[in-house]
């Protein structure tokens, strides 16, 4: 695919549109529809193919009405990165006008044809393209059909008849799916900004190399600070940015100099010389606010690597800029945040940088961004009021920092005597100011290499003092060497204790950009007082278990519960080297997805205390005398045992992790809940091949089940078993008892078997199956269990029982492709595909009647 025509039409020194570059999505193909007010209002419809966006201009916009056929004029290919473009194309440029992202999402080829990307390109060439859109506004099947005999580039965009078809006007949903603004709002804002001298300065020819141009010099401005808060939130009036784990850096760029400063005006020029050198490309007088970080190879900012960079100069140094304070001598702090960021993006679009980046943001979706940050092991997110001005040197609740990783700045107030083979010192004592009073917050003895011990000791030695800087006594038996409270360090920790001490602190490095007087409780931490237990204590979020990778046993607080996690380094999957701790971490990550399908259901515990290659055992009856009192259990009468059994009920994350710590690799809930124990919420068809390598038989059988259920006008869902088969669930909403469900299951199984008798059987006896796939409908009995959706399985690779879209049930599918190593990214993209299983469900009386009629006809 060529982007030469796209590049030829644009002057990238004037327009913010991205330069043409071949790029592809990691997995699913994307589509985007942009609403574009150029010389004439139209909608640009774009489909990703072969590294570019195939594009059509749709004058009247798309429609969900199959009777309405929209003219679509094919235009030049656009680059993949154009999918996010929103803003103003300046006058005098091709396509001048305002653009919003009206809709976006992923798309697949027509489900019936099941074609891949090569097939899509072939169909495009033939002039007839069918596809399924999964957008925020456009959903379901569409076609693009080329018109022959008219203009060469004329096509029709047509909606097909399906459950998403409607005669309502979808164009009335007129807001951007990114910024939540209408095109009219964007146009009004663009007009307002272009009237300001600041934007004219960006677009002007003013250059520091022009001696005749009179420019007012910019000077350092103390940065605005954020207030801490505990919980993420959604709000359309707020934007959300990544929280970077580095040094806050203000860049002051004048015609004859570039200066980098810490928040306290300490020069960073020598420390971050590559950034300072690159900023010389900017031929405007500006003041920028951002964060300098060093990223590891995975692209994650790492504060310890930043510390090492200061010594060695080795690492991926980057400067993320999130605000603009001065532009060509004009102070722009009174503009709204979104206006300042718009100016900043226009400015940055003029230059090509290697180490300097515009800090992107999203609007309104704080919960989603916080979850993404958690999965990326980021430090957290920053929430900012979209219409707020910039308060120079002040801390404001218009900016909120919401941390994931528990990190704190602390003052080093002493060291303890070294023990055993350790040199220099044993641990550092930490403090923080509470008003003017310095308070002890704990000691830290981990995170030090021998070279760090030596270097830190040499920095602290000149500050040794005989007098404690604290008013109270420290409850330690160690021999202490006190240190004047002038040195600030960064530590990570598991939680704050009730007496305001850090639990499990780990040394990360020194903060050369902070003064000791700034390290206070009210500014950066969650001090717990006698009068008020803060949200940190009440709803302590799960510590990122990656922090405990090397710890075998440790305590972990989840909500109000402290879990004692044991043997986390024990290998559970010998061939893959996967540990018990990694299984616990997976369930921590996936808890919000799996819990709805465990809630209020009795659990049959299948425990693997020594991993998948050693014997396991089932446990149903919980010994109440030996388990924590906070666990929820339910007595259920067992006819086979003729007694009550205390079943464990998993309704929260702490119980889920407790089970994982017991060695429950997989989660096996009942099909019914304790609220309606005799009526299952779904019917299950378990498809397991006679031979492990016969998965093509499983696929064919599953497709036949779907065919039967479609004829019965009944929804069914499919997931991998995580082993060798597939599970198909039919939602029933607990309307019928187990006996009725078992009858329905048998009728469906017999109908499917009658259509593919050569490869399937309903024969229960293994000897009589003749190596055919057994359609197991007997799972629909009281007390029977199957692995829950999103459950890990005790199979090589740590496979996961993964919900599927029916379009994925094809010859490319295999259960082994979904493991704990890759499914989280999939779940983030697709969301919870299993939700419909908890819906009201079908009318089985009608289904049974129709099935019986079919059997009689045969």
Catalytic residues, which ones? Answer: 243
- SS3 of 594-649: HHHHCCCCEECEEECCCCCCCCCEEECCCCCCCCCCCCEEEEEEECCCCEEEEEEE
Distance CA 62, CA 44 (A): 10
CA angle 541, 547, 552 (to 5 degrees): 110
List CB contacts of 841: < 8 A, sequence separation 6 or more: 681, 682, 730, 731, 732, 733, 735
Distance CA 775, CA 615 (A): 28
Q: How many CB atoms lie within 10 A of CB 622?
A: 18
Instruction: Kindly compute the dihedral angle of the four CA atoms of residues 693, 694, 698, 703, in this order, to the nearest 10 degrees.
Output: 120
How far is CA 421 from each of CA 426, 590, 750, rounded to the nearest angstrom?
10, 42, 73
Q: How many CB atoms lie within 10 A of CB 791?
A: 26
Q: How many residues are present in the chain? A: 858
CA atoms within 13 A on the CB side of 115: 16
Distance CA 721, CA 855 (A): 30
Distance CA 543, CA 563 (A): 12
Query: What is the side-by-side strand order in the sheet with 773-776?
Result: 760-761, 773-776, 682-688, 726-731, 717-720, 803-804
Give CB contacts under 8 A, 24+ apart, made by 109-117: 110/141, 111/141, 111/806, 111/807, 114/807, 114/810, 117/29, 117/49, 117/50
Q: How many CB atoms lie within 10 A of CB 57?
A: 18
Least Cα distance to 540 among 554, 559, 524 occurs for 559
Burial class (CB in 10 A: 0-12, 13-18, 19+), 355: middle
CB 459 within 8 A of CB 519: no
What ranges in 349-391 are assigned the alpha helix state H? Answer: 366-375
What ranges in 694-822 are assigned the alpha helix state H? Answer: 695-711, 738-755
* E strand map for 2-58: 29-37, 41-49, 52-58
Which residue's structure tokens are 């796939």? Answer: 773
CB 615 within 8 A of CB 630: no
CB 626 within 8 A of CB 635: no
Sign of CA dihedral 185, 191, 197, 200: positive
Distance CA 341, CA 323 (A): 6
DSSP string, 556-570: EEEBTEEEEE--TT-
CB 248 within 8 A of CB 223: yes
Distance CA 246, CA 378 (A): 12
Distance CA 35, CA 813 (A): 37
Do strands 356-358 and 316-327 pair parallel, antiparallel, or not at all (unpaired)?
parallel
CA atoms within 13 A on the CB side of 175: 8
């Amino acid at each position: 695919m060529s982007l030469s025509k796209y590049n030829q039409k644009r002057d990238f020194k004037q327009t913010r549109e991205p330069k043409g570059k071949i790029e592809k999505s990691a997995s699913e193909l994307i589509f985007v529809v942009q609403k574009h007010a150029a010389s004439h209002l139209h909608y640009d419809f774009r489909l990703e193919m072969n590294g570019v966006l195939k594009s059509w201009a749709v004058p009247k916009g798309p429609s969900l009405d199959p009777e309405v056929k929209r003219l679509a004029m094919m235009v030049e290919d656009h680059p993949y990165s154009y999918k996010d473009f929103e803003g103003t194309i300046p006058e005098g440029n091709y396509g001048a006008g305002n653009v919003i992202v009206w809709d976006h999402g992923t798309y697949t080829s027509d489900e019936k044809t099941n074609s891949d990307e090569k097939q899509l390109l072939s169909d495009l060439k033939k002039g007839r393209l069918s596809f399924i859109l999964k957008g925020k506004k456009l959903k379901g099947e569409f076609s693009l059909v080329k018109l022959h005999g008219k203009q060469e580039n004329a096509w029709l965009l047509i909606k097909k008849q399906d459950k998403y078809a409607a005669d309502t006007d979808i164009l009335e949903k007129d807001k951007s799916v990114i910024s939540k603004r209408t095109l009219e709002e964007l146009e009004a804002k663009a007009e307002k900004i272009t009237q300001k001298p600041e934007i004219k300065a960006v677009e002007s020819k003013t250059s520091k190399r022009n001696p005749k141009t009179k420019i007012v010099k910019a000077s350092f401005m103390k940065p605005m600070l954020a207030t801490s808060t505990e919980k993420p939130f959604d709000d359309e009036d707020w934007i959300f940015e990544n929280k970077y784990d580095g040094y806050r850096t203000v860049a002051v760029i004048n015609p004859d100099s570039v200066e980098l400063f810490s928040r306290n005006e300490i020069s960073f020029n020598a420390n971050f010389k590559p950034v300072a050198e690159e900023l010389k490309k900017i031929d405007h007088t500006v003041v920028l606010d951002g964060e300098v970080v060093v990223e590891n190879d995975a692209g994650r900012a790492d504060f310890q690597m930043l510390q090492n960079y200061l010594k060695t100069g080795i690492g991926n140094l980057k400067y993320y800029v999130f605000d603009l304070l001065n532009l060509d001598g004009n102070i722009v702090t009174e503009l709204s945040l979104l206006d300042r960021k718009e100016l900043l993006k226009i400015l940055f679009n003029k230059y090509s940088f290697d180490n300097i980046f515009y800090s992107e943001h999203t609007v309104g979706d704080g919960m989603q961004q916080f979850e993404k940050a958690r999965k990326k092991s980021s430090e957290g997110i920053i929430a900012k009021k979209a219409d707020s001005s910039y308060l120079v040197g002040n801390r404001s609740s218009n900016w909120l920092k919401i941390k994931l990783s528990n990190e704190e700045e602390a003052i080093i107030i002493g060291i303890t005597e070294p023990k055993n083979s350790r040199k220099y010192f044993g641990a550092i004592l930490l403090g923080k100011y509470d008003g003017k009073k310095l308070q002890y917050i704990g000691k830290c003895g981990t995170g030090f290499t021998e070279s760090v011990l030596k270097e830190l000791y040499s920095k602290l030695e000149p500050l040794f003092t005989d007098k404690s800087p604290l008013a109270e006594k420290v409850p330690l038996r160690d021999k202490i060497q006190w240190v004047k409270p002038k040195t600030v360090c960064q530590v990570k920790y598991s939680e704050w204790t009730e007496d305001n001490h850090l639990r499990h602190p780990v040394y990360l490095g020194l903060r050369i950009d902070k003064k000791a007087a700034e390290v206070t409780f009210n500014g950066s931490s969650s001090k717990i007082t006698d009068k008020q237990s803060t949200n940190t204590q009440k709803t302590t979020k799960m510590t990122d278990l990656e922090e405990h990778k090397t710890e075998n046993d440790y305590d972990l607080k989840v909500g109000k519960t402290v879990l004692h996690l044991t043997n986390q380094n024990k290998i559970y999957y010998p061939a893959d080297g996967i540990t018990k701790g990694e299984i616990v971490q997976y369930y921590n990550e996936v808890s919000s997805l799996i819990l709805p399908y465990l809630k209020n259901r009795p659990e049959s515990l299948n425990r693997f205390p020594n991993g998948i290659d050693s014997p396991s055992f089932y446990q149903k009856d919980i010994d109440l005398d030996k388990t924590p009192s906070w666990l929820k259990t339910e007595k259920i009468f067992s006819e086979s045992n003729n007694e009550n059994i205390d079943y464990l009920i998993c309704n929260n994350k702490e119980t889920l992790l407790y089970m994982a710590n017991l060695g429950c690799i997989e989660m096996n809930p009942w099909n019914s809940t304790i609220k309606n124990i005799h009526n299952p919420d779904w019917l299950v068809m378990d498809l397991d091949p006679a031979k492990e390598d016969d998965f093509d038989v499983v696929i064919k059988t599953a497709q036949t089940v779907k065919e039967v259920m479609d004829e019965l006008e009944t929804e069914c869902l499919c997931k991998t078993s995580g082993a060798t088969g597939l599970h198909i669930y039919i939602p029933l909403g607990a309307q019928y008892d187990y006996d009725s469900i078992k009858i329905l299951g048998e009728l469906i199984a017999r109908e499917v078997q009658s259509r593919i008798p050569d490869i399937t059987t309903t024969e229960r006896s293994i000897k009589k199956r003749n190596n055919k796939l057994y359609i197991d409908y007997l799972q629909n009995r009281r007390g029977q269990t199957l692995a829950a959706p999103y459950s890990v399985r005790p199979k090589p690779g740590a496979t996961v029982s993964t919900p599927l879209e029916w379009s994925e049930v094809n010859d490319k599918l295999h259960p082994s492709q979904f493991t704990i190593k890759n499914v989280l990214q999939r779940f983030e993209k697709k969301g919870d595909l299993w939700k419909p299983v908890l819906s009201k469900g079908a009318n089985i009386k009608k289904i049974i009647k129709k099935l019986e009629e079919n059997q009689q006809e045969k």
